[in-house]
Structures are given as structure tokens and as C-alpha cells.
Amino acid sequence: MRIMGSALVAIAVLACGAPQEAEARDQIRVVGSSTVFPFATAVAEQFGRTTAFRTPVIESTGSGGGLKLFCGGVGLEHPDVTNASRAIKASEIESCARNGVTDIVEVRIGFDGIVIANSKSSGRVSLTKEQIFRALAKQVPIDGQLVPNPYRKWSDIDPSLPDAEIEVLGPPPTSGTRDAFVELAMEGGAEAVPMLAAKRKEDKKAFKGIAHAIREDGGYVEAGENDNLIVQKLEANPMALGIFGFSFLDQNADRIQGSLVEGVEPTFENIASGDYGVSRSLYFYVKKAHVGVVPGIVEYIAEFTSDKAAGEEGYLAEKGLIPLPDAERAEVRRQATGLVPLNRDVAASQ
Amino acid sequence: MTEGRADAVGIHDDEAARKRLRRRYAAERRFRAYGLGAIGIAMLALVVLLASVTRSGLPAFTQHELTLEIHYDAELLDPDGTRDPEVLGRADYAKPVRAALASLFPAVEGRRERRQLAGLVSKGAVFELRERVLAAPELVGTREPVRVPLSDEADQYLKGKIRTDLPESQRKVSDRQIAWIEDLRGRGLVHQVFNFRFLSSGDSREPELAGIWGAAVGSLLTLLVTLLLSFPVGVAAAVYLEEFAPRNRWTDLIEVNINNLAAVPSIVFGLLGLAVFLNFFGLPRSAPLVGGMVLALMTLPTVIIASRAAILSVPPSIREAALGVGASPLQVVVQHVLPLALPGILTGTIIGMARALGETAPLLMIGMVAFVVDVPDGPLAPATALPVQIFLWADSPEPAFREKTAAAIMVLLAFLIIMNLAAVLLRNRFERRW
């Protein structure tokens, strides 16, 4: 009984000590995108091991979840930095402002290509964006009519494609990769259909509704957020295609191959040059109010945007990040380390 | 009577009876066979699981290292000769490593090739040299052979995990690098050693440096908090409900609620923790203290139910005898009922703790699914837990993390086996049969 009593006292002491700890924090807290996670963690580790600052703690919460935490307010219980695989939305800037988070520094770190890949044991596929749209959309236009997607096999869409069932493993709707894929590949493909392109002019919202809706009849399989799992499933099922970030293709090039989109192969060079059409920018956002309160934030930005990290031959490129062109990176670095806050109007128009 | 008996014998002795008997024996044998089969399937599944995890995880416990003749060039590391830790901390330790590699292969020239050569050695070599020099500044200006870890790609090649029959562009190790590795191996500079880093360091983005110790300490701290909270509270609740509480509608309601809580999905407790401990009480994110509190909420119903069952199984005669010789109700509970119920209570608690050890979902909500390099030094330091570490490694693109994932599963299983063994031992030690 006495032991129990002292245990309770110990817990009470711990609990009371906690808020004091929260008042002084000497460690950067980062939240956000699971796509940026592998890069941010590499920078954090390098930063922690080569400077006198403590290694930042990085949570993988997804872009949306990260921004929500980030916009929660100013104060040490809120994160200092959030990673995002898309630009911050106007609505998020507003919700930030409501909670007093006004000066946000945007740092663009590079690109991520979204690849459509299959197992090495079957042939390489070459697709156009329109074919991707026709294979994966919930509704497709046939003879001027929108009908539920009738295509079962790739060869139904185009006789030049393989005579195999359409089976694409991809991320669920909560994923930033899925958002980017839908926006870049599906929307791009829908625009290539004259009827939908006409629709886009008159009713943008209805067009997006059609272009963004992915079929739910088994042609598209939601395979979870774990890209490694998709890679393994592709190996087990050579007829299936998978959708994931370029770094997973890069690391598993001995087992899977990226499909050509509009005739362009997803390689480091093609994504960097912008020739490969399905790629997006990656960002992180810094809360300016925390600079000077939590030590090391400016140094962390400097490490992230340095040549040895985000440069063409930096360690992030080794991890699969497609770097910005040098001139652009220099400009980003100048603005970011100078803590130039995001211009609200520019962000709203994006 | 005699006729009746003759009839009875007839019923049990004729052909139909023997047939019935045979059928019943056969049914008996079949029933046993089904049971055996069920056990067999369960064992087979277990063996397959353990074998596949062990097979893919064992390589992670070894690591290839390269012996390099490092020259701690004073000119490079400490040009002013101050031996100031700050100067030494900022110095570039990649240069001595590159110089040592270059002296092994003097013929290598050109930026690209030098980069490839440097790619054989882990980035950790630089960190480790820095720590060595900071710990012993007198090393500056001297030479010594140092064993540094090879990079994950070189290590994977040496472990035979890289297919060399593929074209060079499709693998992470180039033909030149393979030639260098084979050359180094021929010179006896490459050693396969037990991977102490894996058992002693925190997480890392470099597979060859990543360790499980940070996550293990995080799990230990979390479980300690869980135990300190759920055990006393759970036992106290069980004792009151079983020994003192009147039987009425309220206690029935409480009982129903406890049984319901035991079946609530764990993520709900995580959400509760987020709302109450983080948002309301303002406790820090990612802290084992909060993780332990959330998991304590989750294990409490299990502990209460197990404790009540254990207390109930103590024969009433014990209580009556103690009361009969003048013990107070408190003395009855503390001196007689609890000691006798303890084995059952402990078993229930340990099983609850083992479940808590394997949880990730509630930890997600309170920020323990995170990349934490530093090994946590207290219940308020940011930490992660073993199952979370498995999840994070399984999601990493580098193929070398696959064996780390399996090895982390082995460590988690070892933890579970130790806890369950403790439960069995405690039960055998204290158990009383009636």
C-alpha cells in the first residue's frame, strides 16, 4: 500500500512538472506531410549532429493535418514548422490568422514526381494522360455522353495497350499524393477530351467533379499510405500498376519500372527539367513568431536550403528529392533565411 | 426382472449396439483430431511468422565495417591549435575520411568518382569521428586506424542483397563500387561485426546508423507510467467493487461501463488523450508521460476485470475466518484477500501491459509517431515507441530498412515474451490451489 501511495505521489509530481517543461523548449518541433518526412528527417538529423542545437522532432501527420496543428496558434505548445506536399490554401492562411499566426515563411524545397510503375517482370507501359483519365475516372465520356466507366481492360481504351485487366494500386483520398495525382494526371487527361474541355470553360466546378472522381468498382485499389506496401504488391502482381512518389521508384529500380507518361520516362533529369508532367512542388512553412523563441530555426532553414542538402548533388537528392534549379534555390534561400513572410495575395491566387 | 435384464443385455450387445458404439468411438477420435489439427494450424502459422521475421531480421544484427587509417590533421580540424570544443565541433570531419579513402585508392580522380568512393562509407563515419575527437581532443594531430560503418548500399551488397546481374543503372551500387569493395575485402579491411549501433542508438535516416534503443526506452518509460497509473487505480477499483460496494443499480451501471470500455477501440483513447491531456492540461506532445496516461486509460478496464475475477476466486471461508478472529474489513482485504489474489491480478496486469506495448493508434494522436534521434532521457522528453518505430521503418524507401523493420519486430517480440514469461513465473511462484 505504501508503495502504491508513493507511486501516486510520483505521478502527481510528474504531472505538475509538465507545464513548466512546456514553457521552455530548446528543440524545434516539425509536423506535416509524409512525402516531405523522409527529406525533413534527413535534414534534421544532419542539423542535430553537426550543430550545437538539439535534433528537431518530426511528426508525420500529412499535409492537411500538419497545417491544422501549425495554425493552432502561437506558443510553444504549437509546432514551429510544418511540411507540405502542396502550397498552403487561402482557407488555411485565414484559419492561421484567426489564431494569431500571421507571419508565415514559405520555403519551397524541390519537386516530387508521381510515378505510375509496374513490376519489372512485365513490359513497360506507355500512357497518355487521357488514357490514365479513361482508365481511372468514375465517369467517362463516350459518344458525347457521360457514362459509368465501362473499360475493364487496358486494350478496351486503346488497342495498342496491353490486353490486361485495369488494376491500379494507389493512395487513399486522405493522401497528398492522391490530390496531386488527381490534379495533374486526371485533370490533365480530362482536358484532352474535347467535350470535357468545353465543359471546363462553362462550368469549372462540374468539370472538376468529373475529373477528380476516381472509379470505385475495383479498377482502382486504395492501397493505404504505405508506398513500400504498393511496391511489394506490384512485385507479387505483375499485371497491376501502382502510383507513388519518385523516391520509392528510385530506391527500388531493381524491381519496378516507371511507366512513360506522354512519352516521357520518370527519371531524375526529366522531372527536374519539368518534361515529366506529373510532378509537384514540396514546401515547408515556418512560424516567424517562434524565431528567436525556439533556438535554431533560422539555422534549420539554412541547412535545409543549403547546397549540400538541397543542391543538385546534395544528400536530399540521394534520398530522391528533385532539386530546384540553382538560381531559384538561391532566391528561395535568400528569402527564407531573411524570413520574408508569405504574401497573402500571392498565396490566395495559387 | 430376469427377462428385463436379458433384454437390456440384448440392447447393448447386438449388432446395432456395436455399430453405435463404433460410431461414438469414431466421433471421439475425429473430435480429438480436429483439436489437434487446430493446434497444428496455429503452431504452423506461428512458426511461419517467426521464421520469416527471423530470416529477414537476422542480417540487421550484423554490419560491415571498414578499417580506415585516419589522420586527424591539425591543420584541418583545429588550425589555431586552441583545442576549443566549439572549434572542434564545427570542423569538417568528412575531409579526413575522404583523405583516408583516397590514400587507399590513389588512382581515383575526378569529382564524380571521388563522390562514388566516398559513397562506400556511411555518413555516420563523420559523426563518429567528431564524437571521438570531442571526447579526446588530444587525438588531433595523430593517426589511428578507425573502424567506420560502410554505407547501407555497400553493406547490402556484401550481404548479398543486391542483384549484380542487373544493368548498372538499375541498382544502387555501381560496377566501380563493387570492384572497390572486393578490393578492400581482398586487403582484409572489411569486417562483419555485431551491430551494436542497432541496439544502442536512436533512430536515423541512414539505415546503417538507425537503432532501436531510443524506441525501446520510449516504450519502457511509457509502460512504466502506464503501470504506475493503471495498477494501483485498477486494483483499488476492483477491491472496492468486489469487497465493499453495495449491489445496486449504480454499481451495475459502473460494471456495464467497465466492460464496455474494455472493448472500445484504442484510437478513441488517443483522441481523448489529445483533447484532455494535450489541449486542456497543456502537457507536451510526443511525451511518454502522456502516452503512458493514454495507455493507462486503455488498460484500466482490463486490469479491473482481471483483478475482480482474481479477488472473487479467493474462497469466502478465508474472509469469514479472518473476520471471525477479529480482523477488521481493511485487514481482511490487505492481509488476506489481496495476497491470495495477487497472482491473478499480476497476470491480468501484465497481459494488459503487453497489449499496451503493441499499440500505435492512440500514440498517433498525441504525437508519438515521430522521428526522434535523441534517446529520451525522461518521461517528458520527446519519444517514440517500438511499434511506432516498426511502422516508420516499414514506410521508408531504402531497401536496407526492410531488415531493420524485421529486426525491430524481433525486439518487440522479445519484449512480449519476457513480459509473458514474467506473468507465468509470478503466477507459479505465488499461486495457491484450493
Which among B86, B284, B369 has the least Cβ separation from residue A60? B369
- How high does pLDDT run on average in chain A? 85
Does residue A14 lie in a domain region? no
A contact test, residue of B111, B371, B398 with most A CBs within 10 A: B371
Cβ A210 vs Cβ A146: under 8 Å: yes
* Model pLDDT for residues B257-307, shown as the tens digit of each residue: 999 998 899 999 999 999 999 888 988 889 999 999 999 999 999 999 999
Q: Is the per-residue pLDDT at B327 higher than 80?
A: yes
Q: Is the per-residue pLDDT at B157 higher than 70?
A: yes
CB contact under 8 Å between B397 and A250, yes or no, is yes
A contact test, residue of B281, B285, B403 with most A CBs within 10 A: B285
Cβ A93 vs Cβ A42: under 8 Å: no
Does residue A5 lie in a domain region? no
- How far is Cα A93 from Cα A342, in angstroms, rounded to an integer? 10
Average pLDDT over residues B20-26: 93
pLDDT bin (cut points 50, 70, 90) of residue B7 is low
pLDDT computed for residue A294 by the predictor: 92
* Closest to A305 measured CA to CA, from A109, A54, A33, A44: A109
A49 reaches B (C-beta below 8 A): yes
Cβ A37 vs Cβ A60: under 8 Å: yes
CB contact under 8 Å between B370 and A58, yes or no, is yes
From chain B, the residues in CB contact with A41 under 8 A are 205, 371
Average pLDDT over residues A135-151: 87
Does residue A1 lie in a domain region? no
Q: What residue in A sits closest to B382 (Cα-Cα)?
A: A57
Question: In sequence order, which ranges of B66-123 are alpha helices (DSSP H)?
Answer: 74-77, 85-90, 94-104, 111-118
- How far is Cα B389 from Cα B404, in angstroms, rounded to an integer? 10
Average pLDDT over residues B104-131: 87
pLDDT computed for residue A83 by the predictor: 93
pLDDT computed for residue B8 by the predictor: 56
Q: Do A238 and A125 share a domain, yes or no?
A: yes
Domain C-terminal end among A253, A278, A303: A278
CB contact under 8 Å between B170 and A253, yes or no, is yes
Tally of structural domains, chain A: 2
Does residue A133 lie in a domain region? yes
First to last CA, chain A: 64
From chain A, the residues in CB contact with B370 under 8 A are 57-60
Cβ B403 vs Cβ B162: under 8 Å: no
Q: Do A127 and A63 share a domain, yes or no?
A: no
Does residue A3 lie in a domain region? no
- How far is Cα A12 from Cα A15, in angstroms, rounded to an integer? 5
pLDDT computed for residue B433 by the predictor: 65
Q: Is the per-residue pLDDT at A18 higher than 50?
A: no
Q: Do A130 and A267 share a domain, yes or no?
A: yes
From chain B, the residues in CB contact with A251 under 8 A are 172, 397-399
From chain A, the residues in CB contact with B231 under 8 A are 4, 7
Helix (H, G, I), strand (E, B) or coil at A261: strand
Q: Is the per-residue pLDDT at A160 higher than 50?
A: yes
Q: What residue in B sits closest to A37 (Cα-Cα)?
A: B371
What is the separation of C-alpha B188 from the centre of its chain, rounded to a whole number of angstroms? 36
CB contact under 8 Å between A7 and B172, yes or no, is no
Average pLDDT over residues B240-249: 91
Q: Do A161 and A267 share a domain, yes or no?
A: yes
Domain C-terminal end among A278, A304, A332: A278
B contact test, residue of A1, A3, A11 with most B CBs within 10 A: A11
* Model pLDDT for residues A282-341, shown as the tens digit of each residue: 999 999 999 989 999 999 999 999 988 888 888 898 888 999 988 889 999 999 988 888
Q: What residue in B sits closest to A72 (Cα-Cα)?
A: B279
Helix (H, G, I), strand (E, B) or coil at A206: helix
Cβ B159 vs Cβ B115: under 8 Å: no
* Model pLDDT for residues A73-128, shown as the tens digit of each residue: 898 889 999 999 888 888 999 999 999 998 999 999 998 889 999 998 888 889 99
Q: Do A106 and A151 share a domain, yes or no?
A: no
pLDDT computed for residue A121 by the predictor: 85
- How high does pLDDT run on average in chain B? 89
Does residue A128 lie in a domain region? yes
Q: What percent of chain A has pLDDT over 70?
A: 91
Does residue A2 lie in a domain region? no
pLDDT computed for residue B301 by the predictor: 94
Q: Do A82 and A184 share a domain, yes or no?
A: no
The CATH number assigned to the domain holding A205 equals 3.40.190.10
A268 reaches B (C-beta below 8 A): no
Q: Do A67 and A172 share a domain, yes or no?
A: no
Q: Do A252 and A193 share a domain, yes or no?
A: yes
Q: Do A45 and A139 share a domain, yes or no?
A: no
Domain C-terminal end among A258, A278, A298: A278
Q: Is the per-residue pLDDT at A17 higher than 60?
A: no
pLDDT computed for residue B376 by the predictor: 92
Q: Do A248 and A294 share a domain, yes or no?
A: no
Q: Kindly give, in sequence order, each residue whose CB lies less than 8 Å from that of residue A294, ignoring residues fewer than 6 positions away.
A: A25, A26, A27, A28, A29, A76, A80
Per the structure, the complete domain to which residue A91 belongs is given by 26-111+280-349
Output phi, psi for B275, to 5 deg.
-70, -40
Better pLDDT: A275 or B36: B36
Residues 88..117 of A with a Cβ closer than 8 Å to B: which? none
Q: Is the per-residue pLDDT at A348 higher than 60?
A: no
List the grid coordinates of B383: 519519444
Highest mean pLDDT among B29-43, B145-159, B238-252, B329-343: B29-43
pLDDT computed for residue B25 by the predictor: 95
Does residue A7 lie in a domain region? no
pLDDT computed for residue B308 by the predictor: 94
pLDDT computed for residue A231 by the predictor: 87
pLDDT bin (cut points 50, 70, 90) of residue B412 is very high
* Model pLDDT for residues B161-204, shown as the tens digit of each residue: 888 888 887 788 888 899 999 999 999 999 999 999 999 999 99
- How far is Cα A314 from Cα B231, in angstroms, rounded to an integer? 51
Q: What percent of chain A has pLDDT over 90?
A: 28
Q: Do A117 and A245 share a domain, yes or no?
A: yes
Q: Is the per-residue pLDDT at B95 higher than 60?
A: yes
pLDDT computed for residue A243 by the predictor: 92
Angle at B384 between CA B378 and CA B390, to 5 degrees: 145
CB contact under 8 Å between A319 and B163, yes or no, is no
Provide the β-strand partners of residue A285. A82, A106
Burial of A237 (0-12, 13-18, 19+ CB in 10 A): middle
Q: Is the per-residue pLDDT at B152 higher than 70?
A: yes
pLDDT computed for residue B42 by the predictor: 97
Q: Do A182 and A324 share a domain, yes or no?
A: no
Strands A126-127 and A260-261: parallel
- How far is Cα B331 from Cα B334, in angstroms, rounded to an integer? 5
